[in-house]
Amino acid sequence: MKKPSPLVEITGTGRFLPDDIVTNDDLAEHLDTSDEWIQTRTGIRERRIAPPDMGAAYMGAAAARKAMEQAGVEPGEVDVIILATATPDRWLPSTACDTQALLGCSNAVAFDVIAACTGFIYAMSVAECYVAAGRAEVALVIATEKMSSIVDWEDRSTSVLFGDGAGAVVLRPANGSARGILSSHLGSNGDLADLLYRPGGGSAVPLSQQVLDEKSHLIRMEGREVFKHAVRCMADSCHVALQNAGLTVDDVQLLIPHQANIRIIAATAKYAGLPMEKVFVNVNRYGNMSSATVPVALDEADEEGLITPGSNVLTVAFGSGLTWGAMALRW
Ligand code: COA
């Protein structure tokens, strides 16, 4: 198979994590849980929690500034901002527009993509189309999540899993460079929406006292079912993205999977055919930051020198929707 040449390159990455660290022991002070249970079942040791007055737009803008600085891009040069979030600052306007205002990217068109934990891969594939089609010279992709604002802190089966943070990348035309997006694969299955969702507070069940009393505006999840689908969908998606890139697992230097649970990560790597030495893991430090996990990991992997120019990097994610997707990159 002919190997595709990248049309779109990543020229900068950035991340932002709130300062406040909440450990498992901190959670065990007011929840019927333990550090031992959480670490054994999820691999999570601690997570970052944003202060009450810090929203997704603030965190996204902070990550984006770092990505823009690395890419040498001024705010006025950004043509499009595509922002993934499951935790918008407010329902109107989009968090992308709020972030645009914080960044001063006054020449950009800005909009949100909602695909839960797969949001970054979805947003990247939309941005790739914009840049490849010549509709944008500079695209800013941001994934930012304040998961602490949508979990029920009295529900031990969900609250221990999530954390807050943001990641961002700058995309530009590859212009003949061998580096960039090699392929992607996306999937969704709305029939399984109720496995991981927020039942109330939207237009179908508007916010009411009953919604608040039942806490139906917060995350509900069938953990075991989600686990099974996550592993299968992510492993399958890895195979398709690699095939579309004309690569095999042996060509991959680093797998960057969505960081939800170390057991999901290990099972996905196993079914995808990659040893754990080639898998990036930071779920122990941050928990599940939904769409932000992959760009935060990408930025850390780059900073730590785990990926260098020429490395083949496979990213993969899974989330509510259900949604899933993988993207093969040449660094
Ligand atoms: N501390 C202590 N015990 C807990 C607990 C916690 N934080 N959360 C659940 N438990 C208990 C349950 O109540 C249950 O007790 P019971 O047997 O007395 O009923 C027991 O632990 C086992 O629960 P179960 O849900 O079967 O555990 P599990 O091994 O499936 O692990 C998850 C639970 C949530 C960690 C796991 O299902 C998972 O990771 N699922 C995927 C979740 C996810 O990552 N979602 C986002 C995807 S994007």
Give, using CA atoms, the residue closest to atom 13 of ligand 1: 157
The domain in which residue 250 lies consists of: 181-330
Select from 157, 225, 258, 316 the residue to mutate for testing ligand 1; criterion: most ligand atoms less than 8 Å from CB. 157
Q: Over 90: is that where the pLDDT of 1 sits?
A: no
Based on the domain organization, do 213 and 264 belong to the same domain? yes
Task: Pick the last residue of a domain from 177, 194, 213.
Answer: 177
Quick one: pLDDT band at residue 91, thresholds 50, 70, 90?
very high
Arithmetic mean of pLDDT, 15-19: 98
Backbone angles phi, psi at 76, to 5 degrees: -70, -15
C-beta of residue 198 within 8 angstroms of C-beta of residue 162: no
Ligand 1 mean position, distance from CA 193 (Å): 19
What pLDDT, on a 0 to 100 scale, did the predictor assign at position 5? 82
Q: What is the end-to-end Cα distance of the chain in Å, rounded?
A: 21
Are 102 and 20 members of one domain? yes
pLDDT for 102 equals: 98
Query: Does the active-site annotation cover 312?
Result: no
Same domain for 250 and 120, yes or no, is no
Q: Are residues 110 and 14 in the same domain?
A: yes
Pairing state between β 46-48 and 139-146: unpaired
277, 226: one domain:
yes
> What's the CA-to-centroid distance between 38 and ligand 1, angstroms?
9
Q: What share of the chain is helix, strand, coil (3-state, %, to 5)?
A: 40, 25, 35
Is residue 296 one of the residues assigned to a domain? Answer: yes
Predicted confidence (pLDDT) at residue 47 exceeds the cutoff of 80 = yes
CA–CA gap between residue 324 and residue 264 (Å, rounded): 14
Question: Does residue 186 share a domain with residue 168?
Answer: no
148 inside domain:
yes
pLDDT digits (tens, 9 = 90+) for 158-216: 999 999 999 999 999 999 888 999 999 999 999 999 999 999 999 999 999 999 999 99
Residue where a domain terminates, one of 177, 209, 243: 177
Of 156, 177, 198, the position where a domain reaches its end is 177
**Judgement on whether residues 220 and 310 belong to the same structural domain of the protein:** yes
Domain count, the chain: 2
| Residues 185 and 173 both lie in one domain | no
Residue whose Cα lies nearest atom 2 of ligand 1: it is 33
In terms of Cβ atoms closer than 10 Å to its own Cβ (0-12, 13-18, 19+), residue 134 is exposed
**Ligand 1 nearest-atom number relative to CA 230:** 47
Residues 147 and 41 in one domain: yes
User: Per-residue pLDDT tens for 243-302?
Assistant: 999 999 999 999 999 999 999 999 999 999 999 999 999 999 999 999 999 999 999 999
- Residues in contact with ligand 1 by the CB-under-6-Å rule are 33, 37-38, 41-42, 117, 156-157, 160-161, 221, 223-224, 226-227, 230, 260-261, 264, 288, 318-319
DSSP tag of 194:
G
Is residue 31 a part of any domain in this protein? yes
Question: Is residue 3, in this structure, part of any structural domain at all?
Answer: no
pLDDT beyond 90 at 229? yes
62 within some domain: yes
Give yes or no: residues 57 and 159 share one domain.
Answer: yes
Is 122 a domain residue? yes
Look at residue 2 in the predicted model and tell me its pLDDT.
60
**pLDDT given at position 231:** 96
CATH of the domain at 200: 3.40.47.10
- Mean of the per-residue pLDDT values for the chain? 97
Q: Are residues 85 and 173 in the same domain?
A: yes
Are 138 and 204 within one domain? no
